[in-house]
Amino acid sequence: MKWRNVVVLLLIVVAVAGTFWFYSAKGQDEAALQVVHCQGEPQPEEGYCAPNFKLATLDGRSVELAQNGGKPTVVNFWTTWCGYCKQEMPYFQKAFNSYKDRVNFIMVNLTAMERKPEEVSSFVKQNHFTFPVAMDPAKNGQTVGIDQYHLFGVPATFIVGKDGKILHKFVGGMKEQALFSMIDELAK
């Protein structure tokens, strides 16, 4: 009889723990999948809704700008051959390390503009970058950077509020202080 009571008690404990785990994990998934529905016209300019995109990442996942989890997002367009990009990438890594819990980072490699797209992964690994890297190859002759964001050069950085609107647009190499100043404002 005692053995039976122990088994029943153990099953109850497992059921309660499983229920708790299921609902706590569900809440985390819902926050991560929170989608922003920006009100207004999508245009790559300050004050407008950032054009949404969904791209594959280097680690085999995908990232979508609109799935921001209720957080603001830093979007940076870059290439491996761009001198200014190489200068500012360590600043983005430092910012990612400091703010990744409060701000999303999407580092979009303009893969269609790369001389050797297969070298993007080794470039990221050699420089010990850990931020999410999205790949922007030409699909049906179109890219996110050129066709949706109207970029004619890199680097370009867009600071997107949690409401999906572009707060800051910066074309050209960023200084560390300017980047951190913008992100400090976001993270408040």
Quote the CA–CA distance of 107 and 127 in Å, as a whole number.
14
Scored b (16 or more CB within 10 A) or e, 31-69 reads: eeeeebebeeeeebeeebbbbbbebebbeeeebebbbbe
More confident residue, 23 or 182: 182
Q: Are 68 and 31 in contact (CB under 8 A)?
A: no
Q: Which tens digits make up the pLDDT trace of 66-90?
A: 999 999 999 999 999 999 999 999 9
| Amino acid (one-letter) located at 177 | Q
Q: Is residue 23 very low, low, confident or very high in pLDDT (cuts 50, 70, 90)? A: very low
Q: Which tens digits make up the pLDDT trace of 155-173?
A: 999 999 999 999 999 999 9
The encoded tokens of residue 94 equal 């430092």
Residue 155 CB-half CA count within 13 A: 26
The encoded tokens of residue 177 equal 């202080």
Quote the CA–CA distance of 49 and 165 in Å, as a whole number.
4
Please name which of 174, 82, 92 lies closest in space to residue 133, comparing C-alpha atoms. 92
Residue 40 host element (H or E) = none
> Residue 12 above 90 pLDDT?
no
Least confident of 50-59, 103-112, 168-177, 178-187: 178-187
More confident residue, 33 or 149: 149
Domain ranges of the chain: 1-32, 54-187
Q: Which tens digits make up the pLDDT trace of 126-139?
A: 999 999 999 999 99
Please name which of 53, 71, 164 lies closest in space to residue 109, comparing C-alpha atoms. 53
Quote the CA–CA distance of 79 and 109 in Å, as a whole number.
6
CATH, range 54-187: 3.40.30.10
Task: Write out the E strands in the chain.
Answer: 54-56, 62-64, 73-78, 104-109, 133-135, 156-160, 166-171
Average pLDDT, the chain: 86
Question: With DSSP H G I counted as helix, E B as strand and the rest as coil, what are the percentages for the chain, rounded to 5?
Answer: 40, 20, 40
> Residue 22 above 90 pLDDT?
no
> Residue 57 above 50 pLDDT?
yes
Quote the CA–CA distance of 110 and 78 in Å, as a whole number.
6
